[in-house]
Amino acid sequence: MFYFQLFRGNNDTTTLVTIKLPCPIQAQYIRINPQEWNIHISLQFDLIGCTLNSADCDFQNDTCGWQHVNTSLKRWEHGRPNITHEVPTTDRTCISDAMNCNYMYITSEHQEHGNAQVTQTIRRTNTSRCLSLWHTASNDFRGSLNIITVKCEQAIEKLRNTTIINFIQQWRKSTVRVESGVYQIVIEGVRTNESHGVLMIDDIKMNENDCA
């Protein structure tokens, strides 16, 4: 399979130009073919790779490669919030507060309303898979939890799946079918102006089988 894309370079002799590919590429060879130049061709380039990770994460020790997307001032935080909202005091798999119980969360404390995103680049496959995650929210949280799958073929396709937030202060499991060829997963928490609560996610897992 061949991928072709035209990039704009620098227009002087000193400026470095960094170009981020819209899609990860697995390749044995990369060919650079200059299209325009001034007087004579002169070119230097370097390639920076990325790691294709598993989406699985229990968030006990770290975020397992899930990275923030700068969409607004809001961010998913890792750990346990020091809050007074009525939410589970432990993560989904912990049996006591004494254990190292961590998860990802967004809260209204010191943060504006808006959306917070984390993303993970995953290996492309030829079969559909099932993404599962656990989530909960306090009864004063207002917003949504969106799972966005980014598919890259000849163009980028984004599919947004909205999960209804539960307000019963208990962990609940949700699943989303991930189509073949998807290479990126984005988990988006959205908090409205009226929200004063906390949204929590934990135990993300990518199953090789389709969702039942």
How confident is the model over 29-64, as pLDDT tens digits?
Answer: 888 888 888 888 888 888 887 666 778 999 988 998
- Which is it for the CA torsion 169, 171, 175, 176, positive or negative? positive
How many CA atoms, within 13 angstroms, populate the side-chain half-sphere of residue 61? 1
Q: Assign residue 169 a region: left if phi > 0, alpha if psi is -120 to 50, beta otherwise?
A: left
Sorted by where each begins, the domain ranges of the chain are 67-207
Q: For residue 86, name the pLDDT band (cuts at 50, 70, 90).
A: low
**In CATH terms, is domain 67-207 a member of 3.30.420.590?**
no
Q: Say whether pLDDT at 110 is over 50.
A: no
* Closest among 183, 181, 180, 173 to 205, alpha carbons compared: 173
Contact 187, 118 (CB under 8 A): yes
pLDDT (0 to 100) of residue 205: 92
Q: Say whether pLDDT at 88 is over 50.
A: yes
How confident is the model over 62-78, as pLDDT tens digits?
Answer: 998 898 887 665 788 88
Determine the Cα–Cα distance for residues 4 and 25; give it in Å rounded to an integer.
11
3-class DSSP assignment, residue 34 = coil
Tell me which residue has tokens 């920076």: 48
